Homo-oligomer: A and B are copies of this chain.
Amino acid sequence: MDTTKKTIIVFSGDLDKLIAAFIIANGAAAMDDEVTMFFTFWGLTALRRPGGKSLLQKAFATMLPRGPERAGLSHLNFGGAGPRLMKRVMRQQNVTSLHELIDTAREQGVKFVACTMSMDVMGFSKDELIDGVEFAGVATYLGEADEANVNLFI
């Protein structure tokens, strides 16, 4: 068993949960751990390109936030006022934004895996997601989790 590997299933698309997931991932990567993040369901929204296709076929895709800048909060969202407030406080406190956290994760070699079954259900195609994402299913997740000593579902 390899004590230097971590996996995180990123199920939620909420800004606060995404921030928590990336802070843990980046912290582990900074300690030279190998980290794999599996993005499923709403978590896939964190990997969407800001631009992307102008017309989406699938209803879910159109209703979901386009990239990390549009994520809502799991609590006290207030139609977007909560996320704006949280982002402002984070800037004031010099806490890095979700966008920067994602960039740092990629620079540190955190592996991003998008769940292909979830992509089908949510109506996301591969070219709608940012570069450097791998595509796989639950068997890949389980293989990696078996090698890791910390496995979280967020």
Contact = CB atoms under 8 A, between A and B. Distances in A.
A89 B58 contact: yes
Stoichiometry, as copies per complex, reads 3
Interface stretch (A47-55, A106-114, A125-133, A141-149): A141-149
Interface of A: 1, 3, 9, 11-13, 16-17, 20, 23-24, 27-28, 30-31, 33, 40-42, 58-60, 63-64, 74-76, 85-86, 89-90, 93, 95, 117, 120-121, 123, 137-139, 141-142, 145-146, 149-154
Nearest to A92: B120
Of A123, A150, A152, chain B has the most CB atoms within 10 Å of the CB of: A150
Contacts of A63: 76
Given A17-B11, A85-B59, A89-B123, A42 B75 contact: yes
Of A41, A145, A153, chain B has the most CB atoms within 10 Å of the CB of: A153
B31 A139 contact: yes
21 contacts: A3-B146, A9-B24, A9-B152, A12-B74, A16-B41, A16-B42, A20-B40, A27-B141, A31-B139, A31-B142, A42-B74, A42-B75, A60-B85, A90-B121, A93-B121, A95-B120, A145-B150, A146-B149, A146-B150, A151-B151, A152-B152
Contact of A89 (B11, B60, B85): B60
